[in-house]
Copies of this chain bind each other. A is one copy, B any other.
Amino acid sequence: ENRGRLLISCPDQPGIVAAVSNFLFHYKANIIESSQYSTNPEGGTFFIRIEFECPSLNTLQDELKEEFQPLADQFSMAWTLTCVSELKKLALFVSKEPHCLREILWEWQSGDLMAEIALVVSNHEEARDIVEDLGIPFYYIPASKENRADVEHQQIQLLKEFEVDVIILARYMQILTSTFVSEFPHQIINIHHSFLPAFVGARPYHRAYQRGVKLIGATSHYVTDDLDEGPIIEQDIMRVDHRDHVEDLKKIGRNIERSVLARAVKWHLEDRIIVHDNKTIVF
């Protein structure tokens, strides 16, 4: 199909929208959806996401990119142009708890997740069957503090081999080193089982129970070097009360985790997210 998406960040100034829309109009592109945001109209940063239909986009793609560059230079733009028909390649990392993995696979089976699931990596064997039943390669790579460097080396090799665009940590309970993270900047999406910045780190449901909160939550964010401190993509919560013990919080939480992660992944795949200043703009 002929649908494309243009994502741009640049210093704000008058004329950006005019220049970009003229460019697209020149290629007979019809703008389907457009969202923009400026941190500050005077001296701030400007962001825009444009989804458009352009006849023969597949053929014209390279020409478009080449021709756009001078315009991008003029406004000091950081930009990407993607074709909707070229599916992103996705890797899923999972440990023992399968609910987030299942949700993503389910969405994918239902045709609601426009991506290619290239492979699933796990430090446990539990998920092998449900993954291989769908014809997706499953890699069992036992991981622990001791063998972290080796394991990550192996994982990076795999991800390169499969030309993976985005890595989903679907409750992968291992910490990634900065070596790994720096290979995939803003390409690793994690689901943390708390309402960040509350309960950063381990055992958030235990600590939520201990503190006696009346709402529990989950947070999906891009992974950076600082544990649970990366740009937040999406969060949600559910109500709990004094009758809910840790096990109840976990059950309730699983439902929040899977829907929050699914939304974050969907937005990433639709090129709706721009990271700026350790925060996300979600168009």
Contacts and interface: CB of A to CB of B under 8 A. Distances in A.
Contact of A199 (B17, B112, B197): B197
A232 B239 CA distance: 13
A91 B21 CA distance: 41
How many A residues touch the partner, as a band?
Answer: 35 or more
Identical chains in the assembly: 4
A196 B34 CA distance: 30
A43 B102 CA distance: 39
A28 B15 CA distance: 8
Interface string A1-32: 00000000000111111100110110011111
Contact of A30 (B14, B28, B281): B14
Contact of A251 (B29, B30, B112, B213): B112
Interface of A: 12-18, 21-22, 24-25, 28-38, 41, 53, 99, 102, 106, 110, 112, 195-199, 211-215, 217, 231-237, 241-243, 251, 255, 259, 278-282
